[in-house]
Amino acid sequence: MSTNFDRRRINGPEDSFSPVLVDDDEDETKWRPGKPRQSRQPQDIRPIFLQPGLISQANGSAYIETERTKIACAVYGPRQSKNVGYIERGRLNVQVKFAPFSCHKRRAPIRDAEDRSIAVLIHQSLVSSVRLELFPKSTIDVFLTIIENDGIDSCVATGTVAASTALADAGIEMLGLVTSCAATLMGEEIWLDPNHDEATAGASTLVLACMPALNVVTSVWQNGTISPKQGLECMKACQERCETIHSIVAQSLVSNFTPE
Amino acid sequence: MSATVSLSKSEKSYIRTALGELSPIRADGRSLLDYRSIALETGVASLANGSARVNIGKTAGEESGSGTEVIAAVKLEVEGVLEGEGVDGGRLMCTVSCSPAAYPHLSSAALDDLSYDMTIILNQCLSHPSLHPKNLVIIPKRRSWLLTLDVIVLSDSGNVYDALFLAARSALCDTKVPKTRSVQYQPKSNALGEQDVEMSAEAPASIFSTKEVKSTADFELADYWDEGEPLDINQEWPVCVTLNLLSAKSLPTYFLDATSQEEAAIPLRLLLLFSFSPSGTRLQSMRLMGDGEIQLESMTQLLESGENHARKLFQALKNKLQEEDFRRNQKALARFDLR
Amino acid sequence: MAATSVPSEEIRAATFQRLYPKTYLERFLQENVRPDGRDFLEFRDCSINVGSISTADGSSLVRLGDTTVVCGVKAEIAEPDLDAPEDGFLVPNLDLPPLCSPKYKPGPPSDDAQVISSRLNEALILSGMLPTKSLCIQPGKFVWVLYVDATCINYNGNVFDATLLAMVAALKNARLPKAVYHEETNHVTCSRKLREPLSLSGTPLASTFGVFDSSHLLADPTAFEEPLLETTVTIITDNGGRLLSTSQLGQYLPPEMDVLSECITNAKSRTTEIMKHILAI
């Protein structure tokens, strides 16, 4: 969009814009706000495909796909913290990157605020699960690449699940697996695991991350308008669903594990 | 964790133990649910459309530099919907910048990250469609206001998020949107081939107006004693209450308005943003921050007590804003009438 | 204590590989086999998957052994250059994020990414695969810009071959919305439903070989072999097996070996093999 000439890349023209699409005729099959949910019940989540250990160069990795949300995650470390003094506890470093083709509008390859806000939220979900006191002077790097984006809430929730799976795949000591689920308030109904269209149409969105094995919540993130009572109901619904996701993660880790 | 101070292990444990006692002790003698004194002033930036300055915890007799100090200011800019970046209905954009003086030990990269994080929290809450003021439209589908809310953190001695949202709410409540009138250009029909145009102004509420708004080409500022009318969702701008969690087991304990030292010792915080409109209490944003975890069962109680604290803060702020409004605007109006 | 001081065979092999990589590779080559069990001139298995990313106008996922590259084409509209009013733009870039290998750190594009991106650009231009004139919407006013962005997900060597293949596959998969130029308002609208493939001609395909110890020619080197090679040779041919370019990076080619002709012969048979995959998409 704006001029971001970078001599380290192959550059296109100075200015370009995404094509303006016009509707030839209304697509009746498309979901629109106000309609009931398509192809699943409000409390259903999208099918999860989770594959640990796909990135052979990393200490641990996971690839996750829930319909149109596709995220790859790699864990490197624990490795030596560079350029810092003595630290007693290890550092958990989470970085998120959108592939340029992951969104409807092309993302020029520059770091922006959205990358960081997702990284901060995933860090929040994970940080209390990792036993960082065992890794003085070290950093655990968690890198996520969003290959296809279908809503920020979905990216945060799915990214958290992928990252926790990758940490487990890397053999890093944790107190428990972290799973996460998003919800949106659609009228009076709570719809779990919303996609982008549903999340933007809803009055409020909430992402909850928890360690189902210990029955504790590690992160809550809510935006938009909701009554406190409905907020609590959303959190309960998410926590319940997190238990389902927990068994999916555990299953995928077990089936990927090959005894030495 | 804390952005301002780093404490030794024993200092942290000292603070934590004192707070966890049956009769908790805080270094400044407050009880767990006491706030420090809050000072608020609106209209601090004369060139802005609305502004406010908030200070939490300034000790009497001391000059500037003590307490958490935040300035917020609103500027309105005109945007074209068709040609510019504007969207129909107007936009709201928040930016927080942290003064290096507030965080002298942080590197510039770390300072940027901190400003980013605060910006995102403010922006995600305040520019959510559920809080969108309707009167940011100038001419439908053509021109609208871009409302930019800039907040500067001048010094941080703890509880910066409460201060940010207090200042933001005050500045937004203080904001006056200039009154505008649509203007239309029409070619003179009786003129012989003349290219010159006539300008006709049209008051938006005129019952004699038969012209369609669609044909409106531009607008002009109405001449009025005041700077304009307030944003139409004044009462709904939320207030923030930060609960610093001491223990989040089935009986949650927390304290309010942490100082920097306390923030460094107690890493887990729950940010709650409530708005109190006539239609009822709404939760506008909620966020858990820091290293730690809570049990879902305790959330019920935390939300309930958070709501109570927020309501008190909201009421106090409302009274103060009315007082400020009277001090500045009502008196001005009276003076205007005298002339 | 005694039990822990004798590591298992596997750990000993891994330690040896890390400490003496060159000797490790030499010992394998003496047995006429490579560490991953391949013959010297054998390429790794390759798979291509297209069109799975709905946000891109064309996309592909290529796996060459463990090396994985995702590529997406995003079409945007821009004004053409003044001296070339009918020419659109083709902008290929490769990103090597820190996710794909411990070699790469977060930040601006690494040297490797810069070098490979510019080689990819050359390969796509000199193959004439996509005539830029075919990207014209309205001469002098609007042309298409095709951003062909590839991201490496797993770096296990020979990323250039994999990325070129991914870009070619993504371009073949790409469908551009039908664009209409409105003269009165001077802007372009596109149809949401009508989409057309690109007019492509020719298919550039790369085959990379490395020379080890002036004596062994290794096809499709892995991330472990790459730093040990003295020189690498990349042969780019088109779908008919015609030679488009040869490039050599590194030291001189050993005079006692006829490296180039051997590379070209092998590249040609490799190309025929890969074309079967491409025609299948």
DSSP type of residue B35: P
Interface membership of A252 toward B (CB under 8 Å): no
Read off the CATH number of the domain in which A196 is found. 3.30.230.70
Interface membership of B291 toward A (CB under 8 Å): yes
> How much is the pLDDT for A142?
96
Inform me whether the pLDDT recorded for A1 exceeds 50.
Answer: no
Q: What percent of chain C has pLDDT over 90?
A: 48
3-class SS at B81?
A: coil
- Rounded to two decimals, the ipTM of the complex is 0.88
Inform me whether the pLDDT recorded for C130 exceeds 80.
Answer: yes
Q: Which domain holds residue A201?
A: 49-252
Can you tell me which residue has the tokens 């041919």?
A: C237
Judge: C92–A55 Cβ closer than 8 Å, yes or no: no
Residue B261 has, within 13 A of its CA and on its CB side, a CA count of 15
Question: Side chain identity at C135, as an amino acid letter?
Answer: L
> How much is the pLDDT for A111?
66
Question: C89-95 and C142-154: which strand pairing?
Answer: parallel
What are the CA-CA distances from residue C125 to residues C76, C79, C202 (Å)?
19, 20, 11
Report if residue A9 sits inside a domain.
no
Residue numbers in B near A127 (CB within 8 A): 291
Among chain A residues, CA nearest to B129: A224
> How much is the pLDDT for B336?
65
Inform me whether the pLDDT recorded for C215 exceeds 60.
Answer: yes
Q: How far is A192 from chain C (nearest CA, A)?
A: 22
Q: How far is A259 from chain B (nearest CA, A)?
A: 33
Residue numbers in A near B270 (CB within 8 A): 220
> How much is the pLDDT for C113?
92
What are the sequence ranges of the domains in chain C? Answer: 46-280
3-class SS at B294?
A: strand
- Nearest neighbour of C149 by CB, restricted to A19, A99, A144: A99
Q: Based on C-alpha coordinates, what's the Rg of chain B?
A: 24
pLDDT band at A260 (very low <50, low <70, confident <90, very high): low
Judge: C99–A97 Cβ closer than 8 Å, yes or no: yes
Question: Side chain identity at A34, as an amino acid letter?
Answer: G
User: Which residues of A, range 45-104, sit inside 8 Å of C by Cβ?
Assistant: 54-58, 68, 70, 72-74, 76, 79, 95, 97, 99-104
To which H or E segment does residue C13 belong? helix C9-19
Say which residue, B235 or C151, is predicted with more confidence: C151
Q: In the numeric block, which tokens belong to residue B278?
A: 């006539």
Give the range among A118-122, B232-236, B283-287, C220-224 with minimum mean pLDDT.
B232-236
pLDDT average, residue stretch C130-141: 87
Say which residue, C186 or A62, is predicted with more confidence: A62
Q: How far, rounded to the nearest angstrom, does the alpha carbon of residue C200 sit from its chain's CA centroid?
A: 18
- Nearest neighbour of C77 by CB, restricted to A16, A58, A149: A16
Interface membership of B233 toward A (CB under 8 Å): no
Q: What percent of chain C has pLDDT over 70?
A: 98
Inform me whether the pLDDT recorded for A146 exceeds 90.
Answer: yes
- Nearest neighbour of B293 by CB, restricted to A113, A218, A221: A218
pLDDT in tens, A169-184: 999 999 999 999 999 9
CB atoms within 10 A of CB B220: 11
pLDDT along chain B (339 residues), means of 10: 71 89 85 90 87 86 73 90 75 93 88 92 90 85 88 92 94 86 61 45 42 56 68 85 81 87 90 88 92 88 92 91 81 65
Interface membership of B228 toward A (CB under 8 Å): no
Whether there are 3 or more C-beta pairs closer than 8 Å between B and C is no
Among chain B residues, CA nearest to A214: B295
pLDDT in tens, C84-96: 888 899 999 999 9
Among chain B residues, CA nearest to A120: B117
Q: How far is C181 from chain A (nearest CA, A)?
A: 11
3-class SS at A116?
A: helix
Among chain A residues, CA nearest to B237: A225
- For CA atoms B61, B65, B70, B73, the dihedral sign is positive
Among chain A residues, CA nearest to C71: A101
Whether there are 3 or more C-beta pairs closer than 8 Å between A and B is yes
Judge: B295–A235 Cβ closer than 8 Å, yes or no: no
Report if residue A33 sits inside a domain.
no
pLDDT band at C194 (very low <50, low <70, confident <90, very high): confident
Q: Look up the CATH number of domain C46-280.
A: 3.30.230.70
> Angle A152-169/A228-256 helices, nearest 10 degrees?
40
Judge: A227–B113 Cβ closer than 8 Å, yes or no: no
Can you tell me which residue has the tokens 């641990």?
A: A60
Residue numbers in A near B235 (CB within 8 A): none
Q: Name the CATH code of domain B10-179+224-338 (choices 3.30.230.70, 3.30.70.940, 3.40.50.11740, 3.40.190.10).
A: 3.30.230.70
How many domains is chain A partitioned into structurally? Answer: 1
Q: How far, rounded to the nearest angstrom, does the alpha carbon of residue A148 sit from its chain's CA centroid?
A: 11
Interface test with B, best of A128, A160, A233 (most B CBs within 10 A): A128
The DSSP bridge partners found for residue A91 are A139
pLDDT average, residue stretch A110-117: 76
- Nearest neighbour of C95 by CB, restricted to A12, A109, A141: A109
The rounded distance, in Å, linking the Cα atoms of C129 and C165 is 13
CB A153 within 8 A of CB B128: no
**For chain C, what is the mean pLDDT?**
89
CATH 3.30.230.70 domain range(s) in chain B = 10-179+224-338
> How much is the pLDDT for C86?
87
Interface membership of B258 toward A (CB under 8 Å): no
Among chain B residues, CA nearest to A215: B295
Report if residue A82 sits inside a domain.
yes
Judge: A117–B280 Cβ closer than 8 Å, yes or no: no
What are the CA-CA distances from residue C242 to residues A158, C217, C235 (Å)?
46, 22, 10
The rounded distance, in Å, linking the Cα atoms of B31 and B26 is 7
The DSSP bridge partners found for residue C100 are none
Interface membership of A248 toward B (CB under 8 Å): no
CA angle at B123 for the pair B119 and B126, rounded to the nearest 5°? 140
Inform me whether the pLDDT recorded for C281 exceeds 60.
Answer: yes
- Nearest neighbour of B130 by CB, restricted to A210, A224, A235: A224
Interface membership of B310 toward A (CB under 8 Å): no
Report if residue A246 sits inside a domain.
yes
Interface membership of A84 toward B (CB under 8 Å): no
CB atoms within 10 A of CB C86: 15
Judge: A232–B303 Cβ closer than 8 Å, yes or no: yes
